[in-house]
Amino acid sequence: MKDFLGSARFKVFVVIALVLLGLMIRTATNGGLATFTADAVSVVVSPVQKLSSKVSGFFTDVINSVASYGKTKAENETLKKQINELQNKLVDYNQMLRENQQLMESYDLHKENPDLKIQPADIIARDREQWYSSFTIDKGFVNGIKLNDAVITPNGLVGLVTQVLTTSSVVTTILDPSVLAGILISETGDTGVSSGDRKLQANGQIKINYLSKESTVSPGYIVVTSGLGGFFPKNIKVGTVLEVAKESSGMSLYAICKPMVDSLNIKSVFVITDFNGKSVTASSQSGAK
């Protein structure tokens, strides 16, 4: 052991360790901006990631179709019932079109937010574990992607960009406890802050905090982004409320919410690179902690 500690090999290990420590500290203090090393490695690794993504797509489709047969059948029956109910409500719906305009607008991103500049991207890798709830997309700095850009699908909010490399970026989803988003309840106008929660993360659910204790929010209500904080455009669908309860302090309510987007199973996303009201500064209400 003494021989090893005095050897040239040991000194080399120490130098490598110090270099890695330096890179680590630099990335951590950079707020997600990539170091040159991370960038260089990502340029090399990206093609391999794209290939693996295509291979995994095949496995995903096969496994999902077998594993989800029972679930799909049950969902199909539920959807048929819902279609029947919706058809009955269609006549009423036409009469209520004006009153429902605000809700309708949240379903149509382009009507509501013509200012959105969107960059489509494919998912090329996913983080292996629960700690981060993130994935890598095939668009990076050269495609105009910037740190803290919002990421959506046509169904709703997915998360935000937390690391930008030259040809790829890491997106952290709203399931992650580090991602906060200012929200409002579409039906009541109540505001709150959505965040991931370790216990809810495994079930693909998020928590809505700081809802007024006078709020009439109920299960089934739709949660959309409020636009506060400047990270996410307003009126992007976030999810539907599953249950509401009082915080232990009794000062406010919280809600458990099912996101509109199943971020574990999506294959492509849209990155919003710009919109009216976008902030470049961090906010205590939105963005990654």
Partner 1 sequence: MVNKKTIKYSIYALIILLLAVLQFTPHFLPQILGNSPIYLLPAVIAIAMFEGESAGAGYAVFAGILWDVQTGFAFGANALFLLLIGVAVGLLIQLLFRNTVISAIIFTAIACSIQSLFTWFFIDYLRGEQNFIFCFLYILLPTVLYTLLFSAPIYILVKRINSKFQAEEN
Q: Which of 143, 148, 163, 235 binds partner 1 (CB under 8 A)?
A: 163
Residue span binding partner 1 (CB under 8 A) among the ranges 18-26, 75-83, 210-218, 240-248: 18-26
In whole angstroms, what separates CA 268 from the centre of its chain?
A: 12
Report helix angle 69-95 to 36-67, nearest 10: 90
Is there a contact between 163 and 274 (Cβ–Cβ < 8 Å)?
A: no
**Minimum separation from the CB atom of position 82 to partner 1 (A):** 28
Q: Which of 113, 119, 134, 194 binds partner 1 (CB under 8 A)?
A: 134
Q: Which of 113, 143, 172, 186 binds partner 1 (CB under 8 A)?
A: 172
Nearer to partner 1, 165 or 181 (CB): 165
Residue type, 289: K
Contact between 69 and partner 1 by CB under 8 A: the answer reads no
- The rounded distance, in Å, linking the Cα atoms of 284 and 47 is 37
Concatenating the DSSP letter of every residue in 27-62 gives HHHTTTBPPHHHHHHHHHHHHHHHHHHHHHHHHHHH
The CA-CA-CA angle for residues 86, 89, 90, to 5°, reads: 85
Q: Name the site residues for partner 1 (rule: CB under 8 A).
A: 1, 4, 9, 13, 16-17, 19-28, 32, 34-35, 37-38, 41-42, 45, 48-49, 52-53, 55-56, 59-60, 63-64, 125-132, 134-136, 162-163, 165, 170, 172, 177-178, 198-199, 201-202, 264, 289
